[in-house]
Structure 1
Amino acid sequence: MLAVYVAHTNADEPLAGLVVGSLDEPAVPPGWTTVEVRAASLNHHDLWSLRGVGLPADRLPMILGCDAAGVDADGNEVVVHSVVTSDAWRGDETLDPRRSILSERYPGTFAERVAVPRRNLVPKPPELSFAEAACLPTAWLTAYRMLFTRAAVVPGSTVLVQGAGGGVATALIVLGRAAGLRVWATSRSEAKRARALSLGADAVFVPGARLPERVDVVAETVGAATWDHSLKALKPGGTLVISGATSGADPPAGLNRVFFLQLSVVGSTMGTRDELERLLRLCVERDVRPVIESERPLEDARAAFEALAAGDVFGKLVLTR
């Protein structure tokens, strides 16, 4: 079958090991099934995999891709929840110490077919296209959990989104607006700041700018480059929720500010199957749709990866079949 996979990793030139070619059909363990992939979306996780982060050489070749929407073996339209837990785990999937996601231990979604545990399939609402649904299980689910589970925002709260433009950041803006939040966003790019306003952000700023007032919550995915500003932007008792560090994972500590102002620094990663179901329902009932930068056929995956690596993307990149 046609697949997009890592043949070898390269920390400095990640696309050097990217291959679009033929691989064997996925194995289907007991309790698993196959999904005919109609659409799958890219995430920064795919670039990290190409660099060898979390993907040792003995697992290669590995098909990339965490997110997918398609048709299961019974003909049902489904969305794939990409967090794979150990068989005995019950409860919040993100807390299983042995969890992984597709494309880490098991072949990913950038292929004609993917094998997944049956419990990981969620019905796709007919109101969402396959491309729209394929954007939700990683970036949009991460944003949903950051806002509503980990930061526990309430309508009327002010949220600062650092680094508007990426999949998680655009999801934070759209979901925050739908939930009745006042959403502010930062970006180095004037064009991306303008697009953030068009998505519903109430105000936009250059990174590090002095804000009109301190905020209740900062949603952080950038890391080192914005960490100090994120802490300074919070009002006393505020919450910084972080799900990634695309600019580096070793930010200045700022511990004196954290304890003196009684700030909460909260980690967040991915989301549960139940949260994915609620996210899908929210998208339908509030007419919310993911921001899609472009859709390309699976055969043109390299062009999508080049765009992701260059950073000139606003929203999600989708591969289709």
Structure 2
Amino acid sequence: MLAVAAVTQSTTDPLSGLYVGDLAEPEVPAGWVTIDVVAAALNHHDVWSLRGVGLPADRLPMILGCDAAGHDADGNEVLVYPVVSSPGWGADVTMDPRRSLLSEIYPGTLAERVRIPAGNLVPKPAGLSWEQAACLPTAWLTAYRMLFTNAAVSPGDTILVQGAGGGVATAAIQLGAAAGLRVFATSRDAAKRELALDLGAREVFESGARLPERVDAVLETVGAATWSHSVNALRPGGTIVISGATSGDAPAKAELTKIFFKQLRVIGSTMGTREELARLARFVAERGIQPRIDSVIPLAEARTGFERMVRGDVSGKIVFRN
């Protein structure tokens, strides 16, 4: 079958290990099912795998990809929930210390077909296109859990989204605006600030700029470069929800004094549950949210999408079609 895989890894030239072509179909374990993939989306996770981060070399070749939507064996339209729990785990899968994402231990979604546990299927709402549905399982699910589970914000609250333009940040802006939140967003790039306004942000600012008022919650994916600004932007009792640290995880100042004096909450957030993905899909369909899609590319031309992601030449999700 046609698939996109990491066959070698390089920290300096990740695309040198990218393979697009025919691969044998993986076996289907007991209790798993095969999905015919219609659309699959690209994530930075896939590039990190090519760099050797989170994917040991002894698991190569590995089919890449976490996000997909397609048909099950009965022809039902479904989304793929990409988090795989360890055997016997029965609680919130995001708390499972041995969990994995598709493409880390088990082959991923950038293929004509993908195998997943039978319990990892989520119905695709009829109101979502294939491309829109394929955007949701990773970045959009992460943003949904950050906002509605961990930040626990309500309509009328004000949030700050750091690093507008990234996949999670873009999703958080669209979801927050659709939920009646006042969304502030920051970016070093003027074009990305304009994009944030187009997506529903109330106001946008350069990174580190003083805000007109303190916010109820900050969604933090940038890390070291914006940490102090995130702490200073919060009202007393406010919440920082952090799901990434693209600029590094060692800020110059931890801001501990401000955190305890202002009684701030700092909450880590990773992906989301299958139930949250189902709620997210319904919310996006019912509110008529249009996930920002950068481009739709045939799976056979996947290298083009990877090249653009490595260059940073992306505004929204890159989606591959079979």
TM range (shorter): over 0.9
1:154-212 per-position Cα deviation (integer Å, ceiling 9, x unaligned): 11111000111121111101100111100000111111111111111000000000111
Partner of 1:55: 55
Instruction: State the Cα distance separating 1:312 from its structure 2 match.
Output: 2.3
Distance 2:273 2:15 in 1: 31
Distance 1:265 1:226 in 2: 14
Instruction: State the Cα distance separating 1:45 from its structure 2 match.
Output: 0.9
5 Å matches for 1:123-202? Answer: 123-202=123-202
Letter in 1 for 2:95: L
Instruction: State the Cα distance separating 1:237 from its structure 2 match.
Output: 1.0
Distance 1:307 1:239 in 2: 34
Partner of 1:213: 213
**Alignment partner of 1:313 is 2:314:** yes
Distance 1:230 1:274 in 2: 29
SS in 2 for 1:8: coil
Instruction: State the Cα distance separating 1:289 from its structure 2 match.
Output: 2.2
**Alignment partner of 1:93 is 2:62:** no
Letter in 2 for 1:103: S
Structure 1 stretches of at least 4 aligned residues deviating more than 4 Å after TM superposition = none
* Number of matched pairs: 321
Partner of 1:203: 203
1:69-105 per-position Cα deviation (integer Å, ceiling 9, x unaligned): 0011111111000000123111211111111010000
**Alignment partner of 1:66 is 2:63:** no
Letter in 1 for 2:37: V
- Answer yes or no: is the 8 Å Cα contact 1:166–1:316 preserved in 2: no
- TM-score where L is the length of structure 1: 0.98
User: Aligned-pair RMSD on alpha carbons?
Assistant: 1.0
- Answer yes or no: is the 8 Å Cα contact 1:26–1:113 preserved in 2: no
Distance 2:268 2:145 in 1: 10
1:39-77 per-position Cα deviation (integer Å, ceiling 9, x unaligned): 111111111111111111110000110000001111111
Instruction: State the Cα distance separating 1:261 from its structure 2 match.
Output: 1.3
**Alignment partner of 1:236 is 2:264:** no
- Answer yes or no: is the 8 Å Cα contact 1:85–1:93 preserved in 2: yes
Partner of 1:255: 256
Distance 1:33 1:193 in 2: 42
Partner of 2:297: 296
Distance 2:256 2:10 in 1: 35
Distance 1:251 1:120 in 2: 37
SS in 1 for 2:241: strand
Instruction: State the Cα distance separating 1:143 from its structure 2 match.
Output: 0.3
Partner of 1:280: 281
Distance 1:14 1:223 in 2: 23
Partner of 1:267: 268
Change (3 A) 1:249 1:16: farther
Instruction: State the Cα distance separating 1:306 from its structure 2 match.
Output: 1.4
Distance 1:206 1:300 in 2: 36
Distance 1:270 1:281 in 2: 17
| Identity across the alignment (%) | 68
Instruction: State the Cα distance separating 1:276 from its structure 2 match.
Output: 0.6
Q: Structure 1 stretch 13-22 or stretch 24-33: which is displaced more?
A: 13-22
Distance 1:192 1:56 in 2: 34
Gaps of 5+ in 2: none
SS in 1 for 2:141: helix
Letter in 1 for 2:113: R
Instruction: State the Cα distance separating 1:255 from its structure 2 match.
Output: 1.4
Letter in 2 for 1:130: W
SS in 2 for 1:30: coil
Distance 2:309 2:176 in 1: 24
Partner of 2:44: 44
- TM-score where L is the length of structure 2: 0.98
SS in 2 for 1:284: helix
Distance 2:170 2:179 in 1: 14
Instruction: State the Cα distance separating 1:251 from its structure 2 match.
Output: 2.3
Distance 1:234 1:44 in 2: 29
Distance 1:248 1:320 in 2: 33
SS in 2 for 1:237: strand
